[in-house]
Amino acid sequence: MGAYIVRQLASKVVVLLGITIVTFILIDAIPADPARLILGQHASEAAVKALRIQLGLNLPLPIRYLRYLGSLLHGNLGYSYVFNMPVTTMILQRMGASAWLALGCWIAEIIIGIPLGIFTARRAHGPLDYFISALALVGISLPVFWLGLILLYWLGYIHQIFPLGGIGGIRYLVLPALTYGITGAAYYQRLLRSSMLEVMGLDYVRTARAKGASDNRVVWRHVVRNALIPVMTYAGIDIGYLMTGVVLIEATFNWNGLGLMAYTAISNDDVPVIMGTVLLIAVFVVVFTLLVDIVYSILDPRIRYD
């Protein structure tokens, strides 16, 4: 197991390095001039030119990349072009808010999606299954900002049960989480439903039934437990992705997290911030995938990493 983790970590470092290269090249391909964006429309050409030199934008791409990599190895993500703040500080400031929102969204998806998945799998191909599956599909198709605004308008403005956006405790978290839960639950529902149907056809389930185990016992002890494995994989990657920000939810609910930061950084051509957030997303996804692998082996005794 230990050797497996070390091997995995080594390969992930290569992945991360590749991501930095690709992102750097992509950002460079944006035909905008960060110096002009920073100084604005009215700034003189001389001032823009001076800034371009100061930021090192006059240097060739490979040199700029190596410089970035150099400081990255020293743990330095650089300063935001726009905000004159260390990227690390900016990320740390927003990480708590993003993690809190991610957790809320994730739990909402799961507590809506998993029970629906089990329910529809047990009534597979019946009218209730079709009805709920269709409803879940409607959920996936709802634009987050639309549903979010409707919820905000009714429950925040008209009835004043929840606050009108902003970062805060549970009361603030309910609406964004619910919005994300409704629009994301269908993934879990569909995944679990099909996974359960597959497991239900397996020999050991038939054996369990043959032994006279009750339907509930079969479903809960044998089917659900095994059917959850692919759902776990998805949930692991999902939380890793959610951690780094949910742009639309953040924008709709005035939740200033990492997602919005990355989004504005892109429109500002704020290279250090874009690089920092992309790296962060990559690290999260890598770490959570690894965690999922480890949890697998605990859940499923057949899986061993040697």
Q: Which of 130, 131, 146, 153 binds other proteins (CB under 8 A)?
A: 153
Site mask, other proteins, residues 162-201, x = CB under 8 A? Answer: --xxxx----------------------------------
Residue 216 touches other proteins, criterion: CB under 8 A? no
Residue 2 touches other proteins, criterion: CB under 8 A? no
From the list 176, 105, 144, the residue with the least C-alpha distance to 248 is: 144
**Is the Cβ of residue 74 or residue 159 nearer to other proteins in the bound state?**
159
Structure tokens at 221: 């002890």
**Site residues (CB under 8 A) for other proteins, limited to 32-51:** 32-34, 36-48, 50-51
The span from the CA of 19 to the CA of 21, in Å, is 5
**Site residues (CB under 8 A) for other proteins, limited to 124-143:** none
Residue 252 touches other proteins, criterion: CB under 8 A? yes
Q: Least distance (Å) from other proteins to the CB of residue 26?
A: 14
Q: Which of 23, 264, 289, 297 binds other proteins (CB under 8 A)?
A: 264
List, as own/partner pairs, every contact residues 144-148 make where C-beta atoms lie below 8 angstroms and the sequence separation is at least 24, other chains included.
Answer: 144/179, 144/180, 144/183, 144/248, 144/249, 144/252, 145/248, 145/251, 145/252, 147/179, 147/182, 147/183, 148/175, 148/176, 148/179, 148/248, 148/249, 148/252, 148/253
The span from the CA of 115 to the CA of 193, in Å, is 10
- From its phi and psi, is residue 304 left (phi > 0), alpha (psi between -120 and 50) or beta? beta
Which chain residues interact with other proteins by CB under 8 A?
A: 30-34, 36-48, 50-51, 54, 79, 82-85, 90, 93-94, 97, 149, 152-153, 156-157, 160, 164-167, 250-254, 256, 260-261, 263-264, 267-269
